[in-house]
Amino acid sequence: MNALAPSVALDTAAARVMLRARDITKSFGPHLVLSGVSLDVKRGEVVCIIGPSGSGKSTFLRCLNFLEVPDAGGVWVDGERVACQEIDGVLWELPARVFARQRASIGMVFQRFNLFSNLTAEENVSLALRLVKRLPRSEARDIARAVLASVGLERFIHHRPSQLSGGQQQRVAIARAVAMEPKVLLFDEPTSALDPELVHEVLSVMTGLAGTGMTMVVVTHEIGFAREVSDRVVFMDGGGIVEQGVSGEVLANPSEPRTKAFLSKIK
Amino acid sequence: MANASPSAVSGAQDYLSGKPRVLGRGKRMAVTSLVIFAAAALAAYILTSGAFNWTVIWAFFFHPAILSGLAMTLELTALSMIVGVLLGVCLAVMAVSRYPAVSAASALYVWMFRGTPLLVQLIFWFNIALVFPTVGFGGWSVSVNALVTPFMAALLGLGLNEGAYMSEIVRAGIGSVDKGQREAAQSIGLGGGQVMAHIILPQALKVIIPPTANQTIGMLKNTSLVSVIGAQELLTKSEDIYARNFQVIELLIVASLWYLLMTTIASGIQFWLERRFGDDRAIRRMVGEQA
């Protein structure tokens, strides 16, 4: 392939950037949801995106792995352009096979878990290991069991999603994403659909994951998690980033009035 | 009875407790006996009037020709449903294709086969040799007349028609799967075909199975249409016999009793399948259709 445009060239200083989003723009019909959002996430960094509903934070996250196709802008993971390739000055979509393979390196955890309801917990985790990574069945099963054990679910490997609590389902969903050894892990409000007493078990798994050096982008309303675990907090409103910075500072002393107003409401 | 709070008066009960007596029991009894009486009178008339010759009916019930017709009916039903289901899955997957030409081809097929009467289609396939006298590939060719026997024409007609209806059922099944399932599968790197085969279709099954059982029961009866092209199933065999002995009504009753027996057994299997696989939504939808 040929060189990237100079404005987004990955220089040596930026080589530590694991995820790069540039000028992501997205409209649904006449409604502009994202107006040119850019974000760099360093290797091993944990970034929390907060903001009122309708601010575009979930849409932005879904644009990062092209579950929503942005109208403009670009996404790079570990220096590789996501879903697109430039050939002789023309932007083409990647071949479906290559794109699918690439998506396996961008893990995603959904608000509503989206576990495969026809499969057991173990099968949920091992499916892509077999089908995408082409591992033999026994090896995929061993990895699945190990990852499920790491989220504390070794006793539930043969349970179906309907037999698990919300918190357990979300931990299986995290295990399913982690098993693929993604370069970056995206969380779309992972605790918003949980009963309050189950939030903690999911957050503690995520905290453990952050400790392993996983690069994470987390859309969340859990300010406590943002303060204690994330390296950086990004506040979005009206389809753009209003303010960002070291989590402790932004959350304690927001400089923008809109951030102040939002934080005062949810505390 | 139990007092909610300890401060309430204990012991003496100042109200009547328990289930209330049902109102209108007498009316219900009257209606029930009227219906039973009417049914019994009708049955007595049918059995004793001499309008139907029960000896003839019984004599032909297990006649070898009838039994072979019965076997053919079951064979046609099974094979046509297999053709229909396979075709229906293909057409449904085509219908949700990202290529407009492919989904249009599926829509065209469904439009044609659902828009023309099954009876016309059966006669059409039976006479297909008028349009294509031979089919061949390279130097090899074969007469269509030899290829399209009444059985083949029946199978083509019933199977291809069923494919159109099954595709709508499978499509509804695919549509019933939550879109988060597809998104999750894509996010871990599964390709389009893998998502369909491992996630979407297995989950669509519980919506697909109950109406498919319904279609099978319909197919048991629809096979009788192929008597017009002489495909040797139950009705054809019955007609053959009454053409010779003129016991028209008796042989139609023989055929009807066999159809009733088959559809009753099939309904039993359907009931079991629904409990085993069916989810509430699908069952509600089917009940709604019948109402």
Residues B176 and B132 in one domain: yes
For residue B13, being part of any structural domain is answered with: no
Q: How confident is the model at residue B9 (pLDDT cuts 50, 70, 90)?
A: low
- Could you tell me what percentage of chain B is helix, strand and coil, using 3-state DSSP and rounding each to the nearest 5? 75, 5, 20
Q: Is the predicted pLDDT of residue B10 greater than 60, yes or no?
A: no
Q: Let me know whether B34 and B140 are in one domain.
A: no
Q: For residue B84, count other CB atoms closer than 10 A to its CB.
A: 25
Residue B10, in any domain of the structure: no
Q: Do both B134 and B192 map to the same domain?
A: yes
The reply to whether B136 and B223 lie within a common domain is yes
Range B3-24 average pLDDT: 72
User: Are A115 and B184 an interchain contact pair (Cβ–Cβ within 8 Å)?
Assistant: yes
Report the mean per-residue pLDDT for chain B: 88
Best mutation target among A131, A133, A176 (most B Cβ atoms within 10 Å) is: A131
Q: Residue B31 is part of which domain span?
A: 20-51
pLDDT digits (tens, 9 = 90+) for A242-256: 999 999 899 999 999
Residues with Cβ < 8 Å from A87, sequence gap 6 or more?
A1, A2
Q: Is residue B14 part of a domain?
A: no
pLDDT digits (tens, 9 = 90+) for A183-221: 999 999 999 999 999 999 999 999 999 999 999 999 999
| One domain for residues B30 and B166 | no
Say if residue B128 is in the same domain as residue B200: yes
Residue B6 lies in a domain: no
Q: Does B97 touch chain A (CB under 8 A)?
A: no
How high is the mean pLDDT of chain A?
92
Q: Tell me the C-alpha distance between B264 and B12, whole Å.
A: 57
Distance (Å, whole) CA B247 – CA B259: 19
pLDDT, one tens digit per residue, over A2-54 is 444 444 444 445 558 999 999 999 999 999 999 999 999 999 999 999 999 99
- Shared-domain flag, residues B60 and B114: yes
CB neighbour list of residue B189: distance below 8 Å, 6 or more residues apart: A100, A101, A102, A103, A104, A105, A128, A132, A180
Listed residue (B89, B230, B239) closest to B166, CA to CA: B89
Residue B146 in domain: yes
Q: Mean pLDDT throughout A71-97?
A: 94
| Same domain? B26 vs B148 | no
Do B110 and B176 belong together in one domain?
yes
B281 is a domain residue:
yes
**Three-state SS at B1:** coil
* Chain A residues within an 8 Å CB radius of B192: 96
Q: Which residues of A touch B277 (CB under 8 A)?
A: none
Which of B135 and A9 is assigned the larger pLDDT?
B135
* Boundary of a domain, candidates B8, B29, B51: B51
CB nearest to A177's CB, from B178, B188, B203: B188
Residues 6+ apart with CB under 8 A from B185: A116, B194, B195, B198, B199
CATH number at residue B155: 1.10.3720.10
Single out the residue in B51, B71, B91 at which a domain terminates.
B51
Summarize pLDDT for A152-173 with one digit per residue, the tens: 999 999 999 999 999 999 999 9
Indicate whether B43 belongs to any domain.
Answer: yes
Same domain, B58 and B159: yes
pLDDT at B278: 55
Looking at the structure, do residues B41 and B96 belong to the same domain, yes or no? no
Whether B60 maps to a domain, the answer reads: yes
The DSSP code for B20 is P
Chain centroid, CA A239 distance in Å: 18
Residues B82 and B175 in one domain: yes
Higher pLDDT, B16 or B160: B160
The tokens of A230 are what? 């994330």
Residue B288: is its pLDDT beyond 50?
A: no
Tokens describing residue A218? 């987390």
pLDDT tens digit string along B65-122? 999 999 999 999 999 999 999 999 999 999 988 899 999 999 999 999 999 999 999 9
Per-residue pLDDT tens for B234-286?
999 999 999 999 999 999 999 999 999 999 999 999 888 877 765 544 444 44
Assess contact for A158 and A122: CB atoms under 8 A.
yes
Could you give the number of structural domains in chain B? 2
Confidence at residue B132, expressed as pLDDT on a 0 to 100 scale: 83
Phi, psi of B159 (to 5 degrees): -70, -45
The residue of B174, B178, B187 whose CB has the most chain A CBs within 10 angstroms, and thus the best one to mutate to test that interface, is B187
Do β-strands B134-137 and B140-143 pair in parallel, antiparallel, or remain unpaired? antiparallel
